[in-house]
A and B are shown apart, each in its own frame.
Chain A
Amino acid sequence: MNYNVFEHIGAYCITLDDGQKVYAAIHPELKAHERVELDFRDVEIVASPFLNAAIGQLLRDLSPEALNTHLKISNLSVLARPVLARVIENAKTYYSNPEYHEAVDRVIEKEVNAVNDD
Chain B
Amino acid sequence: MSSVIIHLDRNINDDVSDFEYLFRLFNQHRDHQDKHIRFQFTGCEFLRPNAVAFLGGMTRWLRHKNNDLVYDLEGLPNNVRMNLEQNGFLHTLGIGSSPWDGNSVPYREDHTYRSDFTDYLKERWLGKGWLSVSEDLKRYIAGSMVEIYDNGCNHARSPIGTFTCGQHFPKLKELKLAFVDFGVGIPFNVREYLKTPFITSRDALQWAFTPGHTTRDKLDNLARGNGLKLLTDFMDANNGKMEVYSDTGFARVGRGTPVFQEREVQFHGTFVQVSLKCDSRHYTLPSEDDFDSQEDLF
Contacts and interface: CB of A to CB of B under 8 A. Distances in A.
A49 to B, nearest CB: 6
A79 B291 CA distance: 10
B73 interface: no
Contacts of A92: 298
B230 A48 contact: yes
B294 to A, nearest CB: 6
Interface stretch (B38-46, B61-69, B164-172, B193-201): B193-201
Interface residues of B, number: 46
B298 A81 contact: no
Interface in A43-72: 44-49, 52-53, 56-57, 59, 64-65, 67-68, 71-72
Interface in A67-106: 67-68, 71-73, 76-88, 90-95, 101, 104-105
Interface string B135-156: 0110110111011001000000
A4 interface: no
B194 A79 contact: no
B150 A67 contact: no
B223 A56 contact: yes
A109 interface: yes
A28 B1 CA distance: 61
Interface of A: 10, 12, 14-16, 44-49, 52-53, 56-57, 59, 64-65, 67-68, 71-73, 76-88, 90-95, 101, 104-105, 108-109, 112-113, 115-116
